[in-house]
């Protein structure tokens, strides 16, 4: 089955053609980073307008790269939520129209489930069951995944997501948007123990996260110190990143032990942070836990993961009607 995937939940318009849920024939992403950079974050109205401009060219390019004609597409899958409503409506409405015009099935995919499915687009996907972390600018959730349709939510952020904290700290330091890549790059040359920021672990039995305390601690430090030099900004970046990674690793390892699980899969934009991936693998190895991560190109928002998840849903008869709508908040 050849599935056209469409993603438009936030600030990237993406389309991909995936065969049988695992073979990526094409994946095209039109990023809006340059537009939102000046504002230090995503402006929803601008994002929606840019999706409208980009959706048709992006889909056409995906079909061209896959050497596939529209007539050869068997089904279409689009992000249904969570995300920005205006942005979601662009991709979801396009999918409906494509489905109607071609008389093929379409389905609406949960964005967070799709991130987990990016792990199945790798050469060595995890076997069930496994612990899954979806960590991005909007979400920091831990799931216990036992099948293609069972995602048990074990914990989630109670305030800022990890990626959101990266973005906000980068903005405080005047480093621009998005914050994750620039903070990781600046942190490489510095000792993360120079500044000690708090690790918010909440109560010992909780798998929930809280990153607002770390963010506030950074803000207080910036207020009390001279950060006019890149040297000082890099020291803050390194120590902040260390604190976030420390919390993520501790929670994940504990979740795996709690479920007697020997596999952890990480996905979402923050999983592109190689410092985090390396630390998690080193920490997990002592407990003989294997860590799985997607290729960097699949960590952020992309349509290949939408098509991959859509493939399994359509196979199981989980198909949308034309009166189905998008949703802004997470449902898993």
Q: Is residue 332 part of a domain?
A: no
pLDDT band at 47 (very low <50, low <70, confident <90, very high): confident
pLDDT digits (tens, 9 = 90+) for 271-325: 999 999 999 999 999 999 999 999 999 999 999 999 999 999 999 999 999 999 9
For 60-66, which contacts have Cβ atoms below 8 Å and span 24 or more sequence positions?
61/15, 61/26, 61/28, 62/4, 62/15, 62/16, 62/17, 62/26, 62/27, 62/28, 62/303, 63/4, 63/17, 63/26, 64/26, 65/17, 65/25, 65/26, 65/28, 66/17, 66/25, 66/26
pLDDT digits (tens, 9 = 90+) for 69-111: 999 999 999 999 999 999 999 999 999 999 999 999 999 999 9
258 & 138 share domain: yes
What is the count of structural domains for the chain?
2
Which of helix, strand or coil describes residue 8? coil
Q: Is residue 129 part of a domain?
A: yes
97 & 68 share domain: yes
pLDDT band at 193 (very low <50, low <70, confident <90, very high): confident
Question: Which pLDDT score, from 0 to 100, does residue 194 have?
Answer: 86
> Which domain, by its residues, includes 63?
2-116+301-315
pLDDT digits (tens, 9 = 90+) for 122-134: 999 999 999 999 9
58 & 94 share domain: yes
Residue 258: which CATH number? 3.30.420.40
159 & 288 share domain: yes
């Amino acid at each position: 089955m050849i599935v056209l995937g469409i993603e438009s939940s936030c600030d990237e318009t993406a389309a991909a053609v995936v065969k049988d849920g695992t073979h990526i024939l094409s994946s095209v992403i039109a990023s809006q980073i340059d537009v939102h950079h000046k504002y230090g974050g995503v402006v929803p109205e601008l994002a929606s307008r840019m999706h409208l401009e980009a959706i048709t060219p992006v889909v056409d390019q995906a079909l061209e790269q896959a050497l596939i004609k529209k007539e050869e597409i068997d089904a279409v899958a689009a992000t249904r939520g969570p995300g920005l409503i205006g942005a979601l409506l662009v991709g979801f409405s396009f999918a409906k129209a494509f489905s109607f015009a071609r008389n093929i099935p379409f389905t609406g995919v949960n964005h967070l489930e799709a991130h987990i499915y990016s792990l199945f687009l790798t050469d060595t996907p995890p076997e069930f069951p496994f612990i899954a972390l979806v960590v991005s600018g909007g979400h920091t959730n831990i799931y216990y995944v036992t099948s293609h349709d069972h995602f048990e939510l074990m914990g989630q952020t109670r305030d800022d997501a990890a990626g959101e904290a990266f973005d906000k700290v980068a903005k405080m330091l005047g480093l621009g948007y998005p914050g994750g890549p620039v903070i990781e790059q600046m942190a490489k040359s510095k000792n993360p123990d120079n500044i000690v920021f708090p690790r918010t672990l909440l109560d010992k039995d909780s798998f929930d996260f809280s990153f607002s305390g770390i963010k506030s601690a950074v803000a207080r430090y910036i207020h009390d110190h001279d950060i006019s030099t890149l040297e000082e900004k890099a020291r803050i970046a390194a120590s902040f990143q260390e604190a976030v990674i420390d919390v993520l690793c501790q929670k994940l390892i504990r979740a795996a032990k709690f479920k007697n699980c020997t596999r952890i899969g990480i996905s979402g934009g923050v999983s592109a942070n190689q410092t985090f991936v390396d630390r998690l693998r080193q920490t997990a190895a002592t407990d003989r836990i294997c860590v799985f991560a997607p290729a960097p190109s699949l960590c952020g928002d992309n349509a290949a993961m939408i098509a991959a998840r859509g493939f399994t849903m359509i196979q199981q008869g989980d198909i949308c009607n034309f009166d189905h709508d998008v949703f802004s908040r997470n449902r898993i």
